[in-house]
């Protein structure tokens, strides 16, 4: 279902890609994802950057590379390779690679007139290169359930997930988010999300926030994805996403 895939991508999962302080994006360009996998035999490619500003520091990816493939009907496999960065006042900017993200999205309930589409998207982050700045060397796992419903040009989706985050000073956490978007034309779709993320470490706080963004279709295969957002409770966090997507 290409429309659903483009809409999903228009909006990439675990909640924390790295051990840094920023939140990753599960369903580009939003943190919330949907249950729609890539169609059988099709590919999605992304070159993107996530940035987060908290207190006096920036962190994120510059860039990260993501690939999704429809391996069998109603199922996709997922790979994400991030080049991380982190800045602190009066310190040299840190760059590096640490964890590789792998996942499988499976839709087990198709959408009908009276019910939503529902699926799961378990993701693991595997330490690939020893890098204490961006990884604690532990395998992290995210276990979400996503649902989606569409009415003509309006689509809404969301869900909840549990993050297993081992390591000294870390906590398992919960993410919940919901997104709504509208197709203003064949070229432009705009939307927004609200989300909640419980604390992932002993020293961090839970976060409630929002993001506004969407996508621009340059063609049937080339898409620009973007979003900006801010927390509204507890920690003050600014976040952004900018990326290009190719669908084949």
Q: So what's the pLDDT on residue 27?
A: 83
Domain 42-247 sits in CATH at: 2.40.160.40
How far is 4 from 244, CA to CA, in rounded Å? 17
Q: So what's the pLDDT on residue 1?
A: 43
Q: So what's the pLDDT on residue 51?
A: 96
Ramachandran quadrant class, 137 (left: phi over 0; alpha: psi -120 to 50; beta: rest): left
Q: So what's the pLDDT on residue 26?
A: 61
Q: Which long-range contacts (CB under 8 A, 24 or more apart) does 228-235 make?
A: 229/193, 231/207, 232/208, 233/206, 233/207, 233/208, 233/209, 234/205, 234/206, 234/207, 234/208, 235/54, 235/204, 235/205, 235/207
Q: So what's the pLDDT on residue 190?
A: 98
3-state secondary structure of 3: helix
Tell me how far the alpha carbon of residue 235 is from its chain's centroid: 20
Q: What is the largest CA-CA distance in the chain?
A: 57
| Distance linking the first and last C-alpha atoms of the chain | 13
Answer whether 32's CB lies under 8 Å from 176's CB: no
Contacts of 221 (CB under 8 A, 6+ apart): 246, 247, 248
Contacts of 43 (CB under 8 A, 6+ apart): 67, 68, 69, 70, 246, 247, 248
Instruction: For the chain, 248 residues long, give each residue's pLDDT as a single digit of tens.
Output: 434 444 333 333 333 333 333 344 568 999 999 999 999 999 999 999 999 999 889 999 999 999 999 999 999 999 999 999 999 888 899 999 999 999 999 999 999 999 999 999 999 999 999 998 999 999 999 999 999 999 999 999 999 999 999 999 999 999 999 999 999 999 999 999 999 999 999 988 899 999 999 999 999 999 999 999 999 987 789 999 999 999 99
Q: What are phi and psi of 117, to 5 degrees?
A: -85, 140
Q: So what's the pLDDT on residue 17?
A: 36
């Amino acid at each position: 279902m290409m429309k659903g895939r483009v809409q999903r991508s228009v909006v990439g999962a675990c909640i924390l890609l790295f051990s840094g302080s920023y939140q990753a994006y599960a369903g580009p360009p939003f943190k919330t994802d949907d249950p729609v996998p890539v169609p059988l035999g099709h590919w999605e490619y992304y070159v993107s950057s996530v940035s987060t500003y908290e207190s006096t520091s920036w962190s994120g990816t510059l860039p990260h590379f993501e690939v999704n493939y429809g391996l069998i009907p109603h199922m996709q496999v997922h790979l994400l390779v991030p080049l991380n960065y982190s800045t602190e006042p009066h310190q040299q900017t840190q760059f590096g690679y640490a964890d590789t993200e792998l996942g499988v999205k499976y839709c087990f309930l198709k959408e009908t007139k009276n019910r939503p589409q529902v699926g799961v998207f378990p993701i693991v982050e595997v330490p690939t290169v020893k890098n204490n700045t961006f990884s604690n060397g532990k395998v992290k796992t995210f276990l979400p359930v996503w649902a989606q419903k569409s009415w003509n040009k309006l689509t809404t989706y969301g869900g909840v997930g549990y993050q297993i985050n081992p390591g000294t000073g870390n906590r398992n956490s919960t993410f919940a988010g919901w997104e709504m978007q509208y197709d203003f034309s064949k070229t432009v779709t705009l939307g927004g999300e609200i989300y909640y993320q419980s604390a992932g470490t002993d020293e961090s706080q839970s976060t409630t926030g929002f993001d506004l963004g969407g996508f621009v279709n340059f063609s049937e295969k080339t898409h620009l994805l973007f979003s900006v957002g801010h927390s509204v409770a507890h920690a003050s966090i600014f976040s952004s996403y900018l990326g290009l997507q190719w669908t084949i």
